[in-house]
Amino acid sequence: MATSSVVDDITRAAVDLFSTQGYANTSVQQIVEAAGVTKGAMYHYFESKDDLLFSVYERMLSLQTEHLEEIVGRGASTAQTLRDVCVDVIETSIDFLPEGTVFFRSVHMLSEPRQKEVTRRRRQYHDVFASLIERGQEEGLYRTDVPRAVLVAHFFSDVHYLSNWYSPEGPEDKVLLAQQLTDLFLVAIKA
């Protein structure tokens, strides 16, 4: 289909501009010009500028949830599963660094219902993560002197912060970094 190309072009341009200029500072006109299409085309495929932003999140959230389910589904040990989940979410966050930038900067610009939806989806992810830690705690693997919510937040803070300092052109390698951050986390929560 030729349509998918148009949609992709628009999405790509939007992510690019949103991540460098911010959502509010980017006009629809800029996006369509960068994508090489017209406003009419954009409003044919997207309901609103808001909708465009949401679609960026949609894609990321779906992908990460998918990965999570796949990894948990493997049925490995708790320790191995948690490690794999950590590494994966860090790696995919690096793969989608611009999306992450947009995400953390501009979720609050979404309309109420959409913001709720995003929050709901993220919480689902966090809940699975938290239950993994809980299982590990029951197995005596992880410390219990710090509230689980703090442990979870402690991990996701790294993921969140990536878009604020990591540069693919920098010295850090993606795979290595994912292992290092995961290791820092796992060492910290060890019983």
Partner DNA sequence: TTCTCGATACCGACTGTTCGGTATGTCGCC
Partner DNA sequence: GGCGACATACCGAACAGTCGGTATCGAGAA
Whole-angstrom CA distances from 157 to 25, 88, 150, 182 are 26, 15, 10, 12
Q: Which tokens go with 57?
A: 């999140």
Q: Does 170 bind DNA (CB under 7 A)?
A: no
Nearer to DNA, 20 or 38 (CB): 38
- Which of 29, 124, 157, 180 touches DNA (CB under 7 A)? 29
What does 188 interact with, of DNA, a second copy, none (CB < 5 to 8 A by kind)?
a second copy
CA 191/CA 188 separation, integer angstroms: 9
Of 24 and 146, CB closest to DNA: 24
**Using rule CB under 8 A, residue 7 touches a second copy:** no
**Count of chain residues binding DNA (CB under 7 A):** 19
CB atoms within 10 A of CB 31: 25
Q: Is the dihedral of CA 5, 22, 159, 56 positive or negative?
A: negative
142: β partners: 190
Q: 3-state class of 190 per DSSP?
A: strand
- CB 85 to a second copy: min, Å: 18
Q: Is 160 in the site for a second copy (CB under 8 A)?
A: yes
Chain residues 99-158 in contact with a second copy, contact rule CB under 8 A: 104-105, 108-109, 146-147, 149-151, 153-154, 156-158
φ, ψ (nearest 5 deg) of residue 190 = -60, 145
Q: Is 93 exposed, middle or buried (0-12, 13-18, 19+ CB in 10 A)?
A: buried
Per-residue x/- track, 19-38, a second copy (CB under 8 A): --xxxxx-------------
**Around Cβ 166, how many Cβ atoms within 10 Å?**
16
Q: Which is nearer to DNA, 1 or 187 (CB)?
A: 1
* Inter-residue contact 113 to 163 (CB < 8 Å): no
The footprint of DNA (CB under 7 A) covers: 2-3, 6, 25-29, 37-41, 43-45, 48-50
- Residues forming contacts to a second copy in the complex (CB under 8 A) are 21-25, 104-105, 108-109, 146-147, 149-151, 153-154, 156-158, 160-161, 164-166, 171-172, 177, 180-181, 183-185, 187-189
